[in-house]
Amino acid sequence: MISTDNDELVKRIAKLARQNKELEKQLKMLLKQNEKLANENENLKVHSLEVQPGEEKSLKFNMATVLFADIRSLSKLIEGMDSASVMDELDEIFYEFGAITEKYKIEKIKTIGDTFMCAGGIPVKNITNPIDVVMAAMEMRNYLEKFENRKRGGTQRIWDLKIGIHTGPVTASVSGKKKINYDIKGDTVHNATRLEALSEHGSILISVMTYELVKEFFDCEYYGKLPVKYKGDLQIYRVAGLKPEFSVDGKGVNPNEAFRIKFGLIQFTDMQEMILDKLEKELPGYVFYHNVKHTVDVVTEVELIGWAEGCTDEEILLLKTAGLF
């Protein structure tokens, strides 16, 4: 009798293992579909912003995250270098910073002398841009450290990096046809520059607005206050790195699978908005569709059932994605 029960248990476990493996495959497939749809949506929105030569559009973004990265020479060693070599190194660093912004779908705004400026949440609005920008800032810092080790063997440092980040509304002027350019203005930009100026060697300073949106993922320490005219003091935090539970080997540098899943749950909101918009506006007339409320209700119910059943974050993400589609 006991042997029979054990056999049944083994069969059930094997069946659950197969189902779990299949669910993991489905999740990966759905995440790829999500990324593809997000890219298509981004391209559509970017093309819709194209302007005629000589024209300029002005757009309002209620939630953008602005980053200023300032690269300064630290050592007298730079005095012994010819100006061409100095500029070559700076160009190489800025080129890599540009590649990092592309990786995180952040818009490079411009370089001003030795300062690099970029913004998340532009031109495609999303709710993950504070996380994206802080991740990019950490990667910039890590890259510069590796760059110095490669160039000078880690014994000397020539370049210093200071970063300031602030989240809030901005106004963007859009110009260009073949290549769209953005120039952003507002208090958010001004506060980001002040945070960068206040930052120290190798530090990433963020405002309390950014901190509240990223604190779930990053270890941050309180840094101080920044007086803001007519608005009181702005609380400031310094980013130490990713939380151990969200980083590979708990080192706080590279994101792990737990980060990807948690981030995916937040990213789901953007995907849901995009899909609902398509369902409402782009379905052919001969296709019957209840309404947006019905889809939202389905997603909400499967999430509630999932939490009640003790599902993991990964399983909740799979359930919500399946409910949406």
Token couple for 122: 């532009």
Token couple for 149: 């080790």
Specify the pairing of strand 204-207 against strand 159-175.
parallel
Q: How much of the chain is helix, strand and coil, in % rounded to 5?
A: 55, 25, 20
Q: Any idea of the CA torsion for 313, 16, 36, 108, to the nearest 10 degrees?
A: 30
Residue 77 pLDDT: 62
The Cα 183–Cα 175 span in angstroms is 9
Q: pLDDT 10s per residue in the chain (325 long)?
A: 556 666 676 677 777 667 767 766 766 666 666 666 665 555 555 544 554 555 567 889 999 999 999 998 776 667 767 778 888 888 999 999 999 999 999 999 999 888 999 999 999 889 999 999 999 999 999 999 999 888 877 677 888 899 999 999 999 988 776 677 888 999 999 999 999 999 988 899 999 999 999 999 999 999 999 888 777 889 999 999 999 999 999 999 999 999 999 998 888 888 888 788 777 777 776 666 677 787 888 888 888 998 898 888 888 888 888 887 7
Q: 3-state class of 108 per DSSP?
A: strand
Token couple for 155: 């014994």
Residue 28 pLDDT: 67
Complete domains list, the chain, with CATH: 22-47+261-324 (no CATH), 53-242 (3.30.70.1230)
Q: Beta-strand (E) ranges in 148-261?
A: 159-175, 181-185, 204-207, 218-228, 232-242
Residue 27 pLDDT: 66
Neighbours of 289 (CB within 10 A): 10
Write down the H helix ranges in 208-256: 208-214
Specify the pairing of strand 115-120 against strand 107-112.
antiparallel
